[in-house]
Amino acid sequence: MKKQWTLLCLLCVSLCTAQPTSIDELGKAVTNALVANDSLQFYALAMPGEGMYEIFKAEMGSKMTEEQLATARKNMEKGYPELIRLSYGISFFTLTSKIGIFDLTFDDVVYEIQETKETREIENLVGVHGDIDHEKFKHITFYAYPYNGYWYLFSERVSITEENAFNTREELQTIQLSEDDDGYLQIEASFTLDGVKAPKSDRLSCLNTFPVNVGKTDISIGTSDNPELYLAGNWSFNYYVGPDDDPAGAISFDYRYTVEEDVINFRFSNFVHEQDDSEFASVGRLPRKANKQVLSSFSEVQYQEILYDVLMEARRGIRSRKNLVKRCLD
């Protein structure tokens, strides 16, 4: 009954409230709902189910039969309101908590369109960015989409961040899986330290405070003969696959962070899978592409899932270390 009442209230709000007709109006409606702690008003700014179906049909219609499209539409009509309540609810709680704790205001924010990887791939999708007058959180970003003359939130990914979230995502998306000369999995990346003037040894010390560096195997401070500064070690984590998160053993890898004048280079290599307490036999060193050894333990789909999660873990780790170094030396 509570769920039905919530959905009924959401419908009423969406029908009784003037929907934004511009990017600026949408930005103000988003922040007004957040500041007022009005979750229903926030949900009402989400793209309508019919609009999402039209986007889905434009993208996938040529690959599906009329029957499949009809089924997809029926499923969307049935599940979309609940999906909005759940996904936007998490975002709403996170954002309102941040606004309350840090006393954020949005009176003078000007919203501008910013091109992103997603907007280049989806027709009519718009990235929106605004500068916040706050000592810590200076950026608000979200995706918007026009539908029937009005503007809506395209997804629940509304971000209030220290750095422009669009730029951060673009930077992280440049980090990709690769292979060494023997075909084994590795990840190499780097980030610049804009405005950081601290000595290289101080940057290395900051990196060494990150929790994953517990169990480090090697630290080089550098000499006149070996000026390279780096932190190297090995780390492992338990892994799970499938919708039921079945134990799939442990994955370990070597890491090496090299500090240069304005850049920190990252290299993750020697990824090794061990059976541990799972039912998946040890694969050993992981290749970039599934081979017979991999497929003797995992399906192709499971291995692609592993590779994807390894990449996401690396991206999160690099982003966290970048933020750590900047805060440490601020």
Q: 249-268, pLDDT tens digit by residue? A: 999 999 888 888 778 899 99
Q: Tokens for 140?
A: 């608000």
Residue 279: pLDDT over 70? yes
Residue 125: pLDDT over 90? yes
Residues 91, 114: contact at Cβ < 8 Å? no
- H or E element: which one contains 129? strand 126-131
CA-nearest of 236, 269, 251, 253 to 305 is 251
Q: Tokens for 203?
A: 């940057």
Residue 161: pLDDT over 50? yes
Compute the distance between CA of residue 261 and CA of residue 201 in angstroms, rounded to an integer. 11
Per-residue model confidence (pLDDT) at position 287: 97
pLDDT digits (tens, 9 = 90+) for 289-306: 999 999 999 999 999 999
Compute the distance between CA of residue 308 and CA of residue 249 in angstroms, rounded to an integer. 16
* pLDDT: which is higher, 142 or 78: 142
Per-residue model confidence (pLDDT) at position 3: 45
Compute the distance between CA of residue 253 and CA of residue 186 in angstroms, rounded to an integer. 9
* pLDDT: which is higher, 123 or 214: 123
Per-residue model confidence (pLDDT) at position 2: 45
Reported confidence tier of residue 226, pLDDT bands at 50, 70, 90: low
Compute the distance between CA of residue 321 and CA of residue 177 in angstroms, rounded to an integer. 19
The set of residues, in sequence order, having a beta carbon less than 8 Å from that of 54 and lying 6+ positions away, is 147
Compute the distance between CA of residue 134 and CA of residue 162 in angstroms, rounded to an integer. 9
Residues 128, 27: contact at Cβ < 8 Å? yes
Per-residue model confidence (pLDDT) at position 5: 45
| Cα separation of the two ends of the chain | 51
**Mean of the per-residue pLDDT values of the chain:** 86
In percent, the amount of the chain with pLDDT more than 70 equals: 88
Per-residue model confidence (pLDDT) at position 222: 55
Per-residue model confidence (pLDDT) at position 213: 54
Residues 139, 161: contact at Cβ < 8 Å? yes
Reported confidence tier of residue 196, pLDDT bands at 50, 70, 90: low
Q: What is the pTM of this model?
A: 0.73
pLDDT digits (tens, 9 = 90+) for 133-144: 999 999 999 999
Compute the distance between CA of residue 122 and CA of residue 55 in angstroms, rounded to an integer. 9
Q: What is the mean pLDDT of residues 66-74?
A: 85
Residue 15: pLDDT over 50? no
Q: Which residues pair with 178 in a beta bridge?
A: 186
Q: Which residues pair with 216 in a beta bridge?
A: 233
Residue 155: pLDDT over 80? yes
Residues 265, 257: contact at Cβ < 8 Å? yes
* pLDDT: which is higher, 264 or 287: 287
In the chain, which residue ranges form alpha helices assigned H by DSSP?
2-16, 23-35, 39-43, 49-60, 66-102, 117-121, 165-173, 200-207, 292-295, 300-329
- H or E element: which one contains 189? strand 185-192
* pLDDT: which is higher, 30 or 13: 30
